[in-house]
Amino acid sequence: MALAASLSSVSLLSPFQWSTFTPCLPHRASTHKSPPRITSTMVVIAASDTTTCRHERRVFAPQYRGGCSPFGQGKKPAKIGAYVSKMGGSSKKIVTGDAGYVLEDVPHFTDYIPDLPTHCNPLQDHPAYCVVKQYFVHDEDTVTEKVIAHKNGPRGLHFRRAGPRQKVYFEPDEVHACIVTCGGLCPGLNTVIREIVCGLYHMYGVKRVLGIDGGYKGFYSRNTIPLTPKVVNDIHKRGGTILGTSRGGHDTSKIVDSIHDRGINQVYIIGGDGTQKGASVIFEEIKRRGLKVAVAGIPKTIDNDIPVIDRSFGFDTAVEEAQRAINAAHVEAESGENGIGLVKVMGRYSGAGGLFEYVERRLKENGHMVIVIAEGAGQELLSESMHSADKKDASGNKLLLDVGLWLSQKIKGHFTKKNKMIINLKYIDPTYMIRAVPSNASDNVYCTLLAQSAVHGAMAGYTGFTSGLVNGRHSYIPFYRITEKQNKVVITDRMWARLLSSTNQPSFLTAKDVIEDKREDESPTQLLDNQSNPDMSNLVKKEIYCN
């Protein structure tokens, strides 16, 4: 973090300030062969002839990759146990430290392009930022993946913290950026587009930004759309995406050829896990060719199934809109005799269980009920009853059958056959309405921060990363962590237990379900925890007995 307050010619900082801040002095190779030890009693004399950063009276965070560092161009901090591994065709950049510290770092231009020039960040002259006390992020700042730790346990996995760096690898005039949206619609797409454009333009002075029309295939088969702050001024008030979107169409060679031919050197890719897999492949090809092109991803899905990050943008809006449908279903159910409101919402991979007997009991006790089902629930049951083969869309996602319609027919059939009671079932499917609405205030703020973090990262020379929120801190996450798996609803964790208790519904789980779910969800970290805590080994048994 940095202090952006003006200094007099001689200033004294507090011990806390000295622990995190150093002055941005002109680079003089003969002045310091190594960084001086800074103590709380050191006096800083701001040089009056500073030329490197043009702001001789400001204090900035130390960035030891060179540029504005007073300790020399191109010097990097010593990293303990740094190595790069190859897995699945992609490079993993791992940095290890003391006490079990592990940094899953993101790629940087300097990893494969030597002797790149650096420049002072234009934000230091920006009228909005120059009065801010801290706006540059220290190169060594990292964000922990898991905030819960044991007293004697390892420090665990970390990601690089997002934010502006003191030096950048692009001059504003040389930047030629592009933005593409892929996959399904999601609230907030237009907001992200707007904030990337405005962030590049207003923070870094970048004037050339293109929108790629129609998803990945737009790189080589469609026209581009010039984007300026004026063009995107009020698009955040609209749903959908002004750039258009599509599934599939990913031809790596053609896409990278188009990027190179157009002179594009920053690529911002907005999409879900499938889109991020495509972005990872594009980055690897760009790296193989040795091109100075930053590839940054912004994760998008209303299913909230992207791993590592706290949530994806659009999710808050989707939940808010789904509530409207659920409330409508509740009104319908309450108003009719033995009313049932059935609502299908998006969410590809969730569990389902038998519930006809429970529906019958609930109607007798309460006179009405509401059922909310995820679109991906019970697909194996539909496949068996409809004898349908698995099919996939252009993005590689499994095409889902309409479980809501199927379940409504099954419930009606159950009560018709037994002639036990008359029911009034209303089926509501708001899925496509939910994803087409504009983002709400919460998502708009989140989209802004995601977009600006991506811009800061690209300007600082980072590439092959996704911008995301990890434990409340914006971070740069390598593509392989975003694409290696999907988040699923865990039916044996506290969140599911809270849902069951608040809605007063049974779990429908068997002992076999609990054991299998525990095995799937078990990780090396959990195994370590179990070894250090004997009581954890009996957790599965206890849950079985409870059920």
Active-site positions read 303
Q: How far is CA 491 from CA 233, 274, 494, 528, 529, in A?
A: 43, 25, 9, 22, 20
Tokens for 242?
A: 């002004």
| Selection from 224, 229, 218 nearest residue 194 by Cα | 229
Contact 360, 466 (CB under 8 A): no
Strand pairing report for 224-226 and 209-212: antiparallel
Strand pairing report for 224-226 and 59-60: unpaired
Instruction: Quote the CA–CA distance of 143 and 134 in Å, as a whole number.
Output: 17
Q: Is 28 exposed, middle or buried (0-12, 13-18, 19+ CB in 10 A)?
A: exposed
Instruction: Quote the CA–CA distance of 206 and 200 in Å, as a whole number.
Output: 5
DSSP bridge partners of 476: 160, 467
The secondary structure of residue 107, as a DSSP letter, is P
Tokens for 81?
A: 């146990």
Element of type H or E holding 124: none
Residues 6+ away with beta carbon under 8 Å from 491? 351, 507, 509, 513, 517
Q: How far is CA 82 from CA 59, 101, 346, 414, 422, in A?
A: 30, 11, 41, 62, 68
